[in-house]
């Protein structure tokens, strides 16, 4: 539904002079007179879709609602400035729940110097829903976007993938610092954060850039959580399949010119590891190189909204 809705909106909405970049990326970029461009992103998280209020600590839920937005700002290499938060709370115990949600997100806001600038709160008979809108500032190095990848660019990722259900979906650290550092010191053509699934999100970056992508499956950094979840889950997915499709890893994918990628890998200047996992191709679509060295098509998999 999401892809069809975005396509409809792109046709329905007229271009606006205040918008540098609108639909299709991790966040919007607004034009501000006599100031750096402003980056705006929003996420709506709901009970039974993004969390389970009966199973998960409201403080972890609150933290996640802000963290996913900061991850979008990281994907744009923008500096977080402020956030506004809107809550639709179940009537029973609404005040205590609201307080616990904020107790979870405030430490993260303080960690990244984010002003909680306002929002809205309502009670109803339905499930918990939290909408966060985060605002960031573009640095002098410019914003990273999804649509800048070019054929022969190297695809690189931070961190590891898969098994986020074991806790990473709540406890991850948005890669804001890493994105700002990378954007300041390296030539990066495109970026996004992995929220819905590594293969699915890479296919989106490639599509926005008008190119394709080929992944080397042997190089995908699979998390220990993916191995443990595969061993204990009845879904019969391999750790690699989980790394490609589980989603909610909130790591960065970067499209980097080949010589710059070599320099970046040689430096490894960040605390989080960076791994080369493939290349952008002139031919559209998603392909992969398997463990036998064969190139074949790869179906993008992940969470479809």
DSSP 178-202: HHHHHHHHS---EEEE-SS-HHHHH
Burial class, 44, CB count within 10 angstroms (exposed 0-12 / middle 13-18 / buried 19+):
middle
pLDDT digits (tens, 9 = 90+) for 228-287: 999 998 888 999 999 999 999 999 999 999 999 999 999 988 899 999 999 999 999 999
pLDDT of residue 129: 98
Determine the average pLDDT of the residues in 159-170: 97
Q: What angle do CA 7, 10, 15 make, to 5 degrees?
A: 170
Q: Which domains does the chain have, with CATH numbers?
A: 2-138 (3.30.1330.10), 154-297 (3.90.650.10)
Residue 35 makes CB contacts below 8 A (sequence gap 6+) with none
* Mean pLDDT value across the chain: 93
Q: Backbone phi, then psi, for 255, in 5-degree steps? A: -105, 115
Work out whether the CA dihedral 249, 255, 260, 261 comes out positive or negative.
Answer: positive
pLDDT of residue 252: 98
CA 206/CA 228 separation, integer angstroms: 31
Residue 128 makes CB contacts below 8 A (sequence gap 6+) with 46, 47, 53, 61, 87, 88, 89, 90, 97
What is the chain's Cα-based Rg? Answer: 19
Q: What angle do CA 255, 260, 261 make, to 5 degrees?
A: 60
* pLDDT > 90 in the chain, percent: 81
Q: Backbone phi, then psi, for 81, in 5-degree steps? A: -120, -50
pLDDT band, residue 13 (cuts 50/70/90): low
Q: Backbone phi, then psi, for 25, in 5-degree steps? A: -120, -175
Q: 200: closest CA among 245, 248, 149, 147?
A: 245
CA 136/CA 128 separation, integer angstroms: 26
Of how many residues is the chain composed? Answer: 305
pLDDT digits (tens, 9 = 90+) for 133-156: 999 999 999 999 999 999 999 999
pLDDT of residue 233: 83
Please report, for residues 161, 225, 228, the alpha-carbon distance to residue 231 in angstroms, rounded to integers and kept in the order given.
Answer: 16, 10, 5
């Amino acid at each position: 539904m999401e892809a069809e809705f975005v396509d409809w909106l792109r046709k329905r909405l007229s271009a606006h002079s205040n918008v540098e970049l609108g639909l299709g990326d991790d966040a919007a970029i607004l034009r501000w007179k006599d100031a750096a461009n402003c980056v705006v992103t929003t996420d709506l998280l709901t009970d039974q879709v993004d969390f389970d209020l009966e199973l998960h600590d409201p403080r972890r839920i609150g933290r996640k609602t802000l963290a996913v937005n900061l991850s979008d700002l990281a994907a744009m290499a923008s500096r977080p400035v402020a956030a506004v938060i809107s809550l639709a709370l179940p009537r029973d115990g609404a005040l205590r729940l609201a307080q616990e949600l904020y107790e979870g997100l405030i430490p993260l806001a303080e960690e990244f110097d984010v002003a909680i600038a306002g929002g809205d709160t309502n009670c109803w008979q339905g499930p918990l829903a939290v909408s966060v809108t985060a605002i960031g500032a573009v640095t002098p190095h410019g914003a990273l976007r999804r649509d800048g990848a070019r054929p022969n660019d190297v695809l690189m990722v931070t961190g590891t993938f898969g098994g986020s259900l074991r806790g990473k979906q709540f406890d991850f650290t948005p890669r804001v610092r890493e994105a700002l550092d990378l954007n300041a010191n390296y030539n990066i053509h495109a970026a996004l954060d992995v929220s819905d699934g590594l293969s699915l999100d890479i296919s989106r970056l490639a599509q926005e850039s008008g190119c394709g992508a080929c992944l080397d499956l042997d190089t995908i950094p699979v998390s220990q959580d993916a191995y443990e979840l595969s061993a204990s889950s009845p879904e019969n997915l391999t750790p690699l399949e989980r790394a490609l499709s589980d989603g909610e890893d909130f790591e960065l994918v970067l499209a980097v010119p080949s010589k710059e990628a070599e320099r970046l890998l040689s430096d490894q200047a960040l605390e989080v590891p960076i791994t080369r996992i493939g290349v952008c191709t002139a031919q559209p679509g998603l392909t992969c190189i398997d463990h036998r060295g064969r190139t074949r098509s790869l179906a993008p998999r992940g969470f479809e909204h």
